[in-house]
């Protein structure tokens, strides 16, 4: 009976926090657009009847899209700790809306892949700005004792919205075709949720999302704060063992996810029906991970209460290593099932990392740290993809690469266990 009342209690808690409810609405709409844009871009570049992509092209697409922002993110993230985060969200969404329309126009004109990826790179830069701002602002609208629970609610909502956005991509694609014209139509659809996210950003009162002045605030000019963004972010991460430990585990998970993603993408592209069945299989693989993440988000607060953040993350990484070993047979249906379990395990680590940054890091430095996490999130993924592309065969069937993922998970577990071990008071 208690379990039956739990969702009602959570719902009442969310509704009792009006600013958090607004933040939740903004996150849902924004990440629906993110999922739709990412799936639409993948369909346009990797599964188009007019374009072709091998392992290096696939890895290069992800690198061009995510790596440059990952390197620059902590510099720009300093602005989240200097300017009203509400204004940052408004500006980022305005830029994102205009750039999405530009990418759609380039696809309609059958522009070269490089031009399209460059546009997507800038779109994703502003998207990461929005996501980091939403995470950094959450503790400003939620009481400290509810941060873990509300962070899980926010993450679950965002994951579900991104998943629905990716799945919705199949609707306009089936209606308008898999050529450049159909792909551009999908991207134009992205403008709708992005415009709505912009309207929702305007609703917040000034300064309610932080940052708030404290003794840890970075003083000096904005130029100085931006120029030293990496230094302040990394210094803060290294000074907080709970953050450094969970980010180590999260980096390991993202590396393995990069390896598995490239293996699946190359294997399904090697089939004769890769444009139709290959895209559906790829979406199914990513959707399985998304569903696993969603369910783990719901369960994580109870897991953390039972074993603590340290024990929960250690258990998740150990479990992920076993699952990855089972997936090394490279049987696609089995990899989809493993993707579900790995998505759940990785989400436990991600939520532990988010909570560590939201509770253990001062508000004046939280934007720095979240952008370091965001950069690490994508740098690990792209780095693993690039290394995998150097060794993967044309048909994608290389079990040793999957087994390398097991070693990566064990290394992440060792680092997390060593760095995050609770110290006696």
Token pair for residue 376?
A: 């690490």
pLDDT tens digit sequence for 195-222: 999 999 999 988 888 787 654 455 555 5
Looking at the chain, the whole-number percentage of residues with pLDDT higher than 70 is: 86
Average the pLDDT over 178-194 and give the result. Answer: 92
Our CA dihedral for 252, 258, 263, 264, rounded to 10 degrees, sits at 120
Lowest mean pLDDT among 64-78, 94-108, 156-170, 202-216: 64-78
Which comes out higher in pLDDT, residue 174 or 316?
316
Q: Is the pTM of this model over 0.85?
A: no
Cβ 229 vs Cβ 129: under 8 Å: no
Local confidence band at 155 (pLDDT 50, 70, 90 cut-offs): confident
**Is the pLDDT higher at 115 or at 68?**
115
- Whether residue 270 is predicted with pLDDT greater than 70 in this model: the reply is no
Q: How far is CA 222 from CA 66, 83, 177, 232, 234, in A?
A: 25, 9, 47, 14, 18
Report pLDDT for 2: 42
Q: What is the pLDDT averaged over residues 280-300?
A: 84
Which carries the bigger pLDDT value, residue 395 or residue 216? 395
Question: Over 50: is that where the pLDDT of 372 sits?
Answer: yes
In the chain, pLDDT over 90 holds for what percent of residues? 39
Decide which of 423 and 89 is more confident. 89
**How far lies 405's CA from each of 85, 212, 248, 255, 318, in Å?**
37, 41, 15, 8, 12
Give dist(CA 279, CA 167) in Å, integer. Answer: 11
CATH code at 20-204+236-419? 1.20.1250.20
- pLDDT in the model for residue 208: 87
Sorted by where each begins, the domain ranges of the chain are: 20-204+236-419
What is d(CA 130, CA 76) in angstroms, rounded to the nearest whole number?
12
Q: Identify whether the C-beta of residue 174 lies closer than 8 Å to the C-beta of residue 123.
A: no
Q: Is the pLDDT of residue 380 over 50?
A: yes
Query: HEC profile for the chain?
Result: CHHHHHHHHHHHHHHCCHHHHHHHHHHHHHHHHHHHHHHHHHHHHCCCCCCCCCHHHHHHHHHHHHHHHHHHHHHHHHHHHCCCHHHHHHHHHHHHHHHHHHHHHHHHCCCCHHHHHHHHHHHHHHHHHHHHHHHHHHHHCCCHHHHHHHHHHHHHHHHHHHHHHHHHCHHHHHHHCCCHHHHHHHHHHHHHHHHHHHHHHHCCCCCCCCCCCCCCCCCCCHHHHHHCHHHHHHHHHHHCHHHHHHHHHHHHHHHHHHHHHHHHHHHHHCCCCHHHHHHHHHHHHHHHHHHHHHHHHHHHHHHHHHHHHHHHHHHHHHHHHHHHHHHHHCCHHHHHHHHHHHHHHHHHHHHHHHHHHHHHCCHHHHHHHHHHHHHHHHHHHHHHHHHHHHHCCCCCCCHHHHHHHHHHHHHHHHHHHHHCCCCCC
Q: How confident is the model at residue 272 (pLDDT cuts 50, 70, 90)?
A: very low
Output DSSP code: residue 179: S
- Whole-number CA gyration radius for the chain: 21
Contacts of 389 (CB under 8 A, 6+ apart): 55, 56, 58, 59, 262
Average pLDDT over residues 385-404: 91
Confidence band of 12 (pLDDT split at 50, 70, 90): confident
Going from the C-alpha of 39 to that of each of 46, 68, 172, 279, 356, the distances in angstroms are 10, 20, 12, 10, 30
């Amino acid at each position: 009976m208690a379990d039956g009342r739990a969702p009602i209690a959570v719902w009442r808690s969310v509704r009792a926090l009006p600013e958090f409810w607004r933040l939740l609405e903004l996150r849902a709409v924004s990440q629906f657009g993110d999922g739709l844009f990412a799936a639409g871009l993948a369909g346009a570049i990797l599964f188009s009847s007019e374009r072709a992509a091998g392992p290096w092209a696939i890895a290069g697409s992800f690198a061009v899209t995510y790596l440059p922002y990952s390197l620059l993110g902590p510099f720009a993230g300093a602005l989240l700790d200097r300017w009203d985060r509400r204004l940052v969200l408004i500006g980022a969404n305005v830029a994102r809306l205009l750039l999405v329309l530009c990418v759609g126009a380039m696809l309609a004109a059958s522009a070269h892949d490089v031009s399209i990826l460059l546009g997507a790179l800038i779109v994703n830069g502003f998207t990461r700005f929005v996501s980091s701002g939403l995470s950094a602002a959450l503790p400003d609208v939620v009481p400290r004792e509810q941060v873990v629970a509300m962070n899980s609610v926010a993450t679950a909502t965002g994951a579900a919205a991104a998943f629905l956005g990716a799945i919705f991509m199949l609707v306009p694609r089936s209606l308008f075709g898999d050529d450049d014209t159909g792909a551009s139509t999908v991207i134009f659809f992205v403008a709708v949720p992005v415009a709505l996210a912009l309207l929702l950003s305007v609703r917040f009162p000034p300064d309610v999302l932080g940052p708030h002045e404290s003794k840890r605030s970075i003083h000096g000019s904005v130029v100085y704060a931006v120029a030293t963004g990496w230094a302040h972010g990394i210094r803060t991460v290294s000074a907080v063992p709970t953050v450094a430990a969970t980010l180590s585990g999260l980096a390991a998970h993202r590396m393995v996810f990069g390896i598995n993603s490239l293996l699946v993408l190359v294997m399904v592209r090697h089939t004769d029906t890769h444009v139709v069945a290959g895209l559906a299989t790829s979406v199914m693989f990513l959707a399985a991970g998304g569903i696993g993440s969603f369910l783990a988000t719901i369960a994580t607060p109870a897991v953390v209460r039972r074993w603590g953040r340290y024990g929960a993350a250690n258990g998740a990484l150990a479990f992920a290593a076993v699952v990855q070993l089972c997936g090394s047979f490279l049987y696609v249906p089995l990899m989809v099932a493993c993707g579900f379990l790995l998505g759940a395990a990785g989400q436990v680590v991600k939520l532990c990392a988010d909570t560590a940054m939201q509770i253990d890091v001062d508000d004046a430095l939280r934007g720095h740290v979240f952008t370091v996490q965001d950069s690490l999130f994508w740098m690990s993924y792209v780095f693993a993809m690039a290394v995998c592309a150097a060794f993967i065969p044309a048909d994608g069937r290389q079990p040793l690469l999957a087994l390398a993922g097991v070693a990566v998970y064990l290394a992440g577990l060792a680092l997390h266990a060593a760095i995050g071990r609770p110290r006696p008071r």
